[in-house]
Structure 1
Amino acid sequence: MTDTVKVQLEDAQRTEKVKLALLSMQRYSWEQGVAAQAMLESGDMELAILFARDAVNRQDAAGKLGVMNDGYSVTDSAANGEAVARAAQATGDPLFEQGAARMLDWLLHHAPRTAEGTLRHVIDKPQVWIDSFYMAPPFLAVSGHYEEAVKQIDGYRQLLWDPEARLFGHIWDDEAKAYVRQAHWGVGNGWAAAGMVRVLERLPESMSEERERILGYLLDVLEGCLAHLREDGLLHDVIDDSSTFVETNAAQMLSYAIYRGVTLGLLDRRYIRAAERMRTAAHGRVDERGLVQGSCAAPFFDRPGTAPESQAFFLLMESAASRYRDAVGTEAETGASQEEGGAA
């Protein structure tokens, strides 16, 4: 067995442990959604359908999917939307079709917004959170509401971007016109980067201006985050505050965004080196039970520990890395064939 094959086998075994650990965890609406996305991207459609089914079973009267005592949130439940929509396509079951339609109706027609039309993050407060970057716009784009997806990203960018730090702040109060929490939270910036990649994948080529604008946002946050990347391939919980704990999930989220962005042709391959460093660091944080340690910990996200979203992003990162390797291998084979053909 070669060293490369041995490493690949160890990675696969570790990934399976991470998946099993995720399945053991209790999950709020967005955690259920990100876990379902991890199943979709790893090709486990049957498990994705099961995740989607329970999200619909726990859909509330407003249409929000997967609600588990987190009905105060405006956008979190939309993280389930893609899996439910894909389950509808795969099965033709009206349960999923209606579930996705009701989730979309909530976002488009009932969810509270700022005066400019940006979706708020909590129902009873005029707050916009960076988390929403990932929760709502990708599902809007998957559903064909491209302009609305772009509108939301533009709105979040306008309110939360700190141009001096080249990082996003966390929570904005739109009534007070001030931050509730200005800290440049690592996982929050990861939500933004990953969410924008998912939207860019769906936007049609005809929306070239919008694609370029969002790609610019993505490049800005990647550069801002990577400027603070530690030697060990990780970031601090608050990215530009070294007094905060060293955190795992932000590195996974950024690594995922880079692998996926490069494979889609959005990002230059020069970012892969950073993605590999962060991926290696994340693998080093997985314990013998498959728990990704050192993550911003559920349920309060104020200390290091474990979290369903971190388990899911390990899986998302691995799927994106695998697709990147496949794409590079295919390109290399194609190039070699062309050279042989030319020589002949």
Structure 2
Amino acid sequence: MLDDDVRRRVLDCLLVSQRHSWDQGLTAAVLEESGAAAALQALVDDAVARQLPDGRLAELDPACAVNGAALGEFVDSLAHRLGDPALAAAAARQHGWVSSGAPRAADGTLFHLLGSRQVWADTVYMVVPFLACRGDGAAAVAQLTGHRSRLRDPVSGLWAARWDEDAGALADPRAWGTGNGWVAAGAARAVCWLPGAAGTAVAAEARALLDAVLPLRRPDGLFGDVLDDPATPADTNVAAMLGFAALTGAAEGWLPHRFGGVGESLVAAVVERVDGLGRVTGASAAPHFDRPGHSPEAQAFLLLADAACRRWRAGR
């Protein structure tokens, strides 16, 4: 786990980074985990102030169709906690956009960008936890199912990065590590909101993906930018994302206890790559994610995985 000084430096680097809407959602999750109630409220208020008329929260890039929904969980939760009708209305607008306003395939599966009929693995994290927290479990499972049917390889169990709906074929067939991380983390985040069969189904999806990915871990404790291509560089953020998923499942009891130890090992491998400033080195670099470097995602996921590790240890 992170000691207090390293945790503070990792958080400082996250907070001073330039962030997109999905990074704001991850930052909100970090602030909630750390009990920083005032900072979380300030972030949520700013996300609502920047909400587009169609409902997309904190969206500064109008091409992004779904990323603002990563904030929806926190706007919705804070609305209930404070009894704030303005926040409740903002969460409802974001829900309306995801439910009916955003572009989608004939079966309802959401496209990731406006002006492009592509289904991306990333969308799972953006929308599935938000739909689940809104009590819309059927829609959450439907989105996971629609994405899986297009992107998951039935033999390897790995997820491709992108599908082109018009071509009826994969637009990017690579088993991109970060894309698989988004799926695992999004499914793990949603389980606690989903009762009964829906929660069981989403937990099983997270377990299946972890089982497919973990054998591809490299000798240095990390995973590749492309999971099944040893020629690609390692990506520290993938280990943090998968560590978050494994530790969340172990802490909440829907994964076997041994996954907590695996997640703890993944967190330790990432902590070794934190530099003196508190930056997680060796992640897929923002803003283009085309080379090793740093990203707000990697900062946030290390903090989220560390918090999940603390929850798992406390429950042992």
TM-score surpassing 0.5? yes
User: Contact between 1:37 and 1:82, CA under 8 Å: does it hold in 2?
Assistant: no
Q: Structure 1 residue 305 and structure 2 residue 293: aligned?
A: yes
Matched, 1:267 2:259: no
- Partners in 1 of 2:204 and 2:128 — Cα distance? 17
Structure 1 position 211, deviation (Å): 3.2
Partner amino acid, structure 1, of 2:277: R
CA positional deviation for 1:29: 0.8
Q: In the alignment, is residue 216 of structure 1 matched against residue 221 of structure 2?
A: no
Equivalent in 171, 180, 186 of residue 180 of structure 1: 171
State the Cα deviation string for residues 120-144 of structure 1 (Å, max 9, x = none): 1111111000000100010011011
Show the 5 A alignment for 1:1-344. Answer: 11-68=3-60, 70-205=61-196, 208=197, 210-328=198-316
Query: What do the CA deviations read for 1:60-107 (whole angstroms, capped 9, x no partner)?
Result: 121100111x22121111001011112212333333122111101111
Give the match's secondary structure for 1:73.
coil
Report if the CA contact (8 A) 1:42-1:315 is conserved. Answer: no
Under a length normalisation based on structure 1, what TM-score does the superposition of the two structures give? 0.89
How large is the Cα RMSD of the aligned pairs? 1.3
How far has the Cα of 1:34 moved from its partner? Answer: 1.0
Q: Secondary structure at the match of 2:170?
A: strand
Q: CA deviation at 1:179?
A: 0.9
Q: Which amino acid aligns with 1:215?
A: A
State the 1:150 CA deviation. Answer: 0.7
**1:49 and 1:83 in contact (8 A); partners too:** no
Gaps of 5+ in 2: none
- Partners of 2:37 and 2:313 in 1: how far apart? 22
Q: What's the CA shift for 1:163?
A: 1.8
User: Conserved in 2, the CA contact under 8 Å of 1:133 and 1:153?
Assistant: yes
Q: Distance in 2 between matches of 1:272 and 1:137?
A: 23
Any conservation in 1 of the 2:192–2:199 contact (CA below 8 Å)?
no
Q: Which amino acid aligns with 1:252?
A: A
Residue-by-residue CA offset, 1:306-337 (whole Å, 9 max, x unaligned)? 11111111111111011111111xxxxxxxxx
Q: 8 Å contact 2:66–2:126 — kept in the other structure?
A: yes
| Amino acid of the structure 2 residue aligned with 1:230 | R
Q: Is the CA contact (8 Å cut-off) linking 2:193 and 2:199 kept in structure 1?
A: no
Q: Would the aligned equivalents of 2:177 and 2:223 in 1 still touch at CA under 8 Å?
A: yes
What is the distance in 2 between the residues matched to 1:308 and 1:172?
Answer: 26
Question: Equivalents in 2 of 1:79, 1:41: separation in Å?
Answer: 15
Q: Secondary structure at the match of 2:307?
A: helix
Counterpart residue type for residue 48 of structure 2:
V
Letter in 2 for 1:145: D
Shift of 1:160: 0.5
Deviation of residue 214 (structure 1)? Answer: 2.5
How many pairs does the alignment contain?
316
| Alpha-carbon contact 2:250-2:258 (below 8 Å) kept | no
Kindly state the Cα deviation for residue 184 of structure 1 after the two structures are TM-superposed.
Answer: 0.4
Deviation (angstroms), 1:182: 0.7
In structure 1, stretches of 5+ residues that fail to align are 1-7, 329-344
Larger radius of gyration: 1
Does the residue aligned with 2:315 lie in a helix, a strand or coil? Answer: helix
